[in-house]
Structure 1
């Protein structure tokens, strides 16, 4: 067997509407429908984040789904100065960064903040500092 890539992940959230608003406004992710039962997800590039409302999760789910337990890293194409300015404009508090981190493809520059449920969100750029 050879794993090629991730297709989607699932976040259990306290408020699907608030999560959709935050991720679309701050990260530009597109809100999409998921499945036959009217679920929602967040689409970007070739990946998706499916959203489960806490207490209304489908039968097949993680053993202990909990809002705020996620730690996600998104790679951005923008310069870190542009990322920081956008976060300021969106009134998002940066909790750390910019700092250098080791990513899947080498050294990257990252900033960290939290979504409405407290999930840790990392935005990273592999661009050289300019």
Structure 2
């Protein structure tokens, strides 16, 4: 078997409050929400989707998602500050295709979300 794309199509998160999570994820990513035929809320983020399903969230810290943004790490930090998102300091990470600078946030259910941008040393390897 060979996977024909280098990107995930979607990820599904079980959340305690779909409306609250939808607002948080929309404010963070700027994505608009839609409802799919199964009743899940879907946020189009880049070429992928984050789907939110009502249910019991995974234990806090057990899920981490990294989103690469076309913005400076300082702009991402300011965005997190405006949203009053829980976050740590800016830190280097090794992403799938190139080094990034990242900022870790936490969504309302404790899922870790890294907002990242490629470092000046290099562009992603494709």
* Category of TM-score, reference length = shorter chain: 0.7 to 0.9
1:88 equivalent in alignment to 2:81: yes
1:119 equivalent in alignment to 2:111: yes
Question: 5+ residue gaps in structure 1?
Answer: 56-64
> Paired residue for 1:9, among 8, 11, 23?
11
RMSD: 1.8
Distance change (3 Å), C-alpha of 1:8 and 1:117: same
Question: 5+ residue gaps in structure 2?
Answer: 122-126
Give, in whole Å, the separation in 1 of the partners of 2:79 and 2:52: 24
Deviation at residue 75 of structure 1 after TM alignment:
0.3
TM-score normalised according to structure 2 size: 0.84
> Paired residue for 2:64, among 71, 74, 91?
71
Give, in whole Å, the separation in 1 of the partners of 2:20 and 2:39: 17
Give, in whole Å, the separation in 2 of the partners of 1:8 and 1:16: 17
TM-score normalised according to structure 1 size: 0.82
Give, in whole Å, the separation in 1 of the partners of 2:114 and 2:90: 10
Match of 2:55 in 1: 54
